Amino acid sequence: MKIACLLLILIFHSLAQAKRKTEWSLHIDTKFDATYFAQAYGTDTNQDLYKLELDPIYDWRYLDSVRFYVKPTFIANPNNKSDEEKYFFDPTETYLRYQSDSYSLQAGYNVFTWGVTDGYNPLDVINSKQYFDPLHSRKLGAPSVVFSQTLDIWDYELIYIPENRGATLPGEQSRWLPREVFVPQTPENDLVLLLPESLHYNYGTKEDLDDARKNNYALRLQRHGSAFDVGLTYFEGVASFPLIQPVVTGTVVAVSPKTIVQVDPDVTLNVKNYRIRQGGLSMTASSWETLFKLASSYTSSLTDDPYIQKWTFENVLAVERTFNLGESGLLIAVLQKSIIQTEKENDSNLSMTEIFRDAWMLGGRMSWKEVWNFSVLALYDGIHGSNYGELTLTRRFWDAWNLSFTASLIQGSSETPLGVYEKNDSYTLTLSRSF
């Protein structure tokens, strides 16, 4: 009896000690968006959207070694005419991690951001993405095992993904699918599809060529210095944006210099995930109160298909500078240039890479008195002359509420990768709060 009582005392004492060493927190980020599109675009698409997003965050820690973190994403968009987009759920970040003094082991759903550039980052290819709005894609949590270790000024990270998610594309009634002209990716880059006023998209087959989503893996090696950082990356797995091939019937109206087809109303989109291998380099250097950034990658396709680029060489250069505006203001400005070379030229207007083949980006964010924030983004496509601008003004109230107004403006020919979205100029009012 005495032994049993002693064991109970020891157990309760251990539990009490563990409780003192355990920390947890629970928060939730909420956001409500009301978006209005200035022009009607398509017969069955939305001109206004109302979206509620909830991101609960649960963080549990034991000492400094064990962490259980949960941050899923819930989105309700009930007035969306695309059934695929009305409700969305993703585990996003949900993982268990063990951390020692020099290494960590993490398993679950993870989000990775490799590379150093903003807006367009050629090294950011590990996570599959949701493309309901292609200009504001959202990363999907990758079910993965991650091992990382720090060795003085060096660190490395190993990632294994048993089965990646694959891209989530816009819904069949989305205004982000082409609705005037469709320039598909073809071997000879010689086809243009003229779309009818009344158009009906539907998704057909979805294939994983060469088991593209299975057994993805990645490696990053970094060296940190006081004024200069460098990183090397490697990834093999599914391409972040799949090959989309339309199946149509119609009437040929021209054959030179390109074949032009007047398409019948029903268009089927077949989706092919394919496998890539990418090696990358990133560098940052700080000098003269300015941050210089470089991200470079070489990507080769491991899938033999005449519609897929065999290789892509991407380079992004950026300069970032911070300016103090008196005692109450701060301005961060970024100038960025992207240069992309591929096996063959491609004018597909359903390719995100083509937007940045030869592009300039100017961005800035200004904060004032920790209450006002103003941000601007301008993108210019140097090949096609298309451009994109986004301006956001945010006001914080009562330390917890934020009210934002965003204007997104697009200009260009509907045959170009950016101009295909020209009629998607939008104005968004956003109310957000964290609890």
- For the stretch 355-402, pLDDT in tens is 999 999 999 999 988 899 999 999 999 999 999 999 999 999 988 899
* Residue 284 contacts residue 292 (beta carbons within 8 Å): yes
In tens, the pLDDT along 274-292 reads: 999 999 999 999 988 899 9
pLDDT range class, residue 15, cuts 50, 70, 90: very low
- Burial label, 217 (beta-carbon count in 10 A; 0-12, 13-18, 19+): middle
More confident residue, 245 or 288: 245
pLDDT of 179 over the 90 cut: yes
pLDDT range class, residue 20, cuts 50, 70, 90: low
In the chain, the percentage of residues whose pLDDT exceeds 70 is 95
Ordered by where they begin, the domains of the chain are: 21-434 (2.40.160.10)
Q: Which of 165-179, 215-229, 316-330, 417-431 has the lowest mean pLDDT?
A: 316-330
pTM: 0.90
pLDDT range class, residue 117, cuts 50, 70, 90: very high
How many angstroms separate the CA atoms of 85 and 77, rounded?
7
Q: Cα-flanking dihedrals φ and ψ of residue 19, to 5°?
A: -65, -40
How many angstroms separate the CA atoms of 181 and 196, rounded?
9
How many angstroms separate the CA atoms of 354 and 384, rounded?
10
Mean pLDDT (whole number) for 151-164: 96
In tens, the pLDDT along 316-351 reads: 999 999 998 887 889 999 999 999 999 988 888 888
Mean pLDDT (whole number) for 43-70: 95
pLDDT at 18: 54
